[in-house]
Amino acid sequence: MEKHNEDSKPKVYYIQVLAEWAGQRIDNFLLARLKGVPKTFIYRILRKGEVRVNKGRIQPSYRVAEGDQIRIPPVRQSEVQPTGAHAAKTGYSLKEKIIYEDDQLCILNKPSGLAVHGGSGLSFGVIEALRAMYQIESPYADLELVHRLDRETSGCLVIAKRRSALRLMHEKLREGALEKIYWALVRGRWEGPSQVDAPLLKNQLQSGERMVKVHEEGQASLTEFRVLQYFDNCTLVEARPITGRTHQIRVHAAYAGHPIAGDTKYGDEEFNKMIKATVGLDRIFLHAYELRFQSLKGMGMLEVQAPLDEKLTDTLQQLREDHV
Cα 44 from chain centre: 33
Pairing mode, if any, of strands 200-204 and 195-197? unpaired
> Is 169 in a helix, a strand, or coil?
helix
| Dihedral angle computed from the Cα positions of residues 184, 187, 191 and 197, in that order, rounded to the nearest 10 degrees | -60
Half-sphere exposure of 13 (CA within 13 A, CB side): 20
Name, in order, each residue with C-beta under 8 angstroms of 149's C-beta and a sequence gap of 6 or more.
110, 116, 155, 157, 288
204, 211 Cβ separation under 8 angstroms: yes
Angle CA 254–256–260, to nearest 5: 35
Cα 93 from chain centre: 15
91, 129 Cβ separation under 8 angstroms: yes
Cα 258 from chain centre: 26
126, 115 Cβ separation under 8 angstroms: yes
> Is 165 in a helix, a strand, or coil?
helix
Q: Is 150 part of the annotated catalytic residue set?
A: yes
Find the catalytic residue in 7, 102, 142, 150: 150
C-alpha radius of gyration, the chain, whole number? 23
Strands (E), 161-246: 179-187, 195-197, 200-204, 210-214, 222-230, 234-241
DSSP 153: -
Cα(108)–Cα(288) distance, rounded to whole angstroms?
11
Catalytic residue positions, numbered:
150
